């Protein structure tokens, strides 16, 4: 599917650039960087993830933060921010992959040089705690980033799903993305069609942006959410906060990804996860579909944040413009 210049011209942020920047596609022989901007990765799964990148024909350079530990962080804030700057500033690096999530990206986002990132656009990939970086980088620079499975926490696992690996193919081609995985499992909560730039990620991290200079902007956008290990009452608190902040009513449509292990644990009287999500999100009256394998799921399907997406509940489709450009010819 091709989305023409009319749709592009409508894409802007209240704070930040008025245009979308797509990073160049990868090719075999390219060098990519691996960093840990949040928590430290587990060594063995990370090495397996790096070998996967090498099997794709890529050379790998690891950042300093990958090998550091500072409590529950992969190095001090300054060190992790410097890793991001070094990878974006290095012209030999064509993509940056996050080793894992955990905690800590919200601590470094105010330290980032967004002019450096804007002037050196390249693939930036990860999810979970990386959501704060996706939101900030995209809204401050216009760069399309990728909410996708990570090297240590996903690709490095023994039972990694083949479709998670396949998501990386998005980075080597400029074909538009069509969500096709297990479509019979998709469920329509509110009928309709919607389009707009993709925005979203981990629910907990999206809520943590509220009231900051990097608050997620959902106006006219397709909002997708996911989370892990949060009981329904915790999800209730967070989606209610997004609702009160008008993030659902401002969105063009809502996509509910995977909520792994988000079931009641000890509470005898609990609303179900479905009841919580339906009550808060359905009331916005925007097209809503749920059941997407996006987030802490197996498989974990990558989504280009900032690319124009179109969702239609009639045929249960989600199509997204490629987040990659052809780049300069050799």
Q: What is the pLDDT of residues 164-213, one digit of tens each?
A: 999 999 999 999 999 998 888 899 999 999 999 999 999 999 999 999 99
What is the model's pLDDT at position 3?
A: 33
> Quick check: is 12 in a domain?
no
Residue written as token pair 């659902």: 248
Cα–chain-centroid distance for residue 62? 21
pLDDT digits (tens, 9 = 90+) for 256-297: 999 999 999 876 689 999 999 999 999 999 999 999 999 999
How many separate domains does the chain show?
2
Q: Quote the CA–CA distance of 176 and 309 in Å, as a whole number.
A: 10
Active site residues: 128, 226, 296
pLDDT reading at 8 higher than 60: no
Q: What is the pLDDT of residue 9?
A: 30
Confidence of residue 329 (pLDDT cuts 50, 70, 90): low
CATH number of the domain to which 269 belongs: 3.50.30.60
CA angle 68, 298, 326 (to 5 degrees): 75
- Single out the residue of 66, 204, 212, 75 nearest to residue 136, CA to CA: 212
Domain presence at residue 42: yes
6 pLDDT exceeds 80?
A: no
Residue 327, in any domain of the structure: no
Do 136 and 99 belong to one domain? yes
User: What pLDDT was estimated at residue 68?
Assistant: 95
Residue 305 — very low, low, confident or very high, per pLDDT cuts 50/70/90?
Answer: very high
- In this structure, are 67 and 182 located in the same domain? no
Q: Which range of residues forms the domain containing residue 221?
A: 177-320
The DSSP 8-state label assigned to residue 35 in this structure reads E
Q: Report the pLDDT value the prediction gives residue 15, as an integer from 0 to 100.
A: 38
Residue 132 shares a structural domain with residue 68:
yes
| pTM score, whole prediction | 0.93
pLDDT at 18 > cutoff 60: no
**2 found inside a domain:** no
Output 11 or 156, whichever has higher pLDDT: 156
Tens-place pLDDT, residues 233-255? 999 999 999 999 999 999 999 99
Span 215-226, pLDDT tens digits: 999 999 999 999
Q: Are residues 132 and 268 in the same domain?
A: no
Per-residue model confidence (pLDDT) at position 4: 33
pLDDT at 2: 33
Q: Is the pLDDT of residue 13 over 60?
A: no
* Mean pLDDT of all residues belonging to the chain: 93
Residues 6+ away with beta carbon under 8 Å from 35 = 62, 63, 65, 66, 80, 83, 84, 87, 96, 97, 98, 99
Residue 110: the pLDDT is 97
187/298 same-domain check:
yes
pLDDT of residue 55: 98
What's the average model confidence in pLDDT over 67-78?
Answer: 97
pLDDT at 132 > cutoff 70: yes
């Amino acid at each position: 599917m091709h989305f023409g210049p009319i749709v592009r011209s409508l894409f802007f942020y209240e704070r930040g650039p008025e245009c979308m920047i797509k990073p160049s596609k990868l090719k075999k022989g390219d060098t990519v960087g691996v960093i840990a901007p949040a928590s430290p990765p587990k060594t063995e799964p990370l090495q397996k993830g790096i070998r996967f990148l090498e099997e794709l024909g890529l050379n790998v350079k690891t950042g300093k933060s990958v090998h550091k530990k500072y409590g529950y962080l992969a190095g001090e804030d300054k060190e992790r921010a410097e890793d991001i700057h070094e990878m974006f500033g290095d012209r030999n690096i064509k993509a940056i992959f996050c080793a894992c999530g955990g905690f800590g990206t919200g601590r470094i986002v105010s330290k980032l040089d967004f002019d450096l990132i804007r002037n050196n656009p390249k693939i930036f990939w990860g999810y979970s705690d990386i959501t704060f970086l996706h939101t900030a980088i995209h809204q401050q620079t216009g760069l399309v980033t990728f909410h996708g499975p990570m090297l240590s926490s996903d690709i490095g696992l023994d039972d990694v799903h083949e479709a998670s690996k396949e998501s990386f193919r998005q980075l080597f081609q400029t074909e538009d993305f069509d969500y096709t995985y297990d479509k019979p499992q998709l469920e329509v909560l509110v009928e309709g069609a919607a389009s707009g730039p993709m925005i979203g990620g981990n629910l907990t991290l999206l809520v943590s942006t509220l009231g900051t200079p990097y608050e997620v902007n959902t106006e006219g956008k397709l909002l997708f959410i996911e989370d892990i290990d949060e009981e329904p009452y915790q999800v209730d608190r967070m989606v209610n906060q997004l609702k009160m902040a008008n993030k659902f009513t401002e969105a063009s449509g809502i996509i509910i990804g995977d909520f792994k292990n988000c079931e009641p644990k000890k509470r005898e009287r609990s609303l179900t996860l479905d009841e919580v999500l339906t009550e808060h999100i359905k009331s916005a009256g925007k097209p809503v579909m749920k059941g997407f394998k996006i987030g802490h799921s197996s498989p974990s399907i990558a989504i280009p944040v900032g690319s124009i997406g179109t969702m239609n509940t009639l045929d249960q489709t989600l199509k997204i413009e490629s987040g990659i450009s052809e780049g300069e010819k050799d």
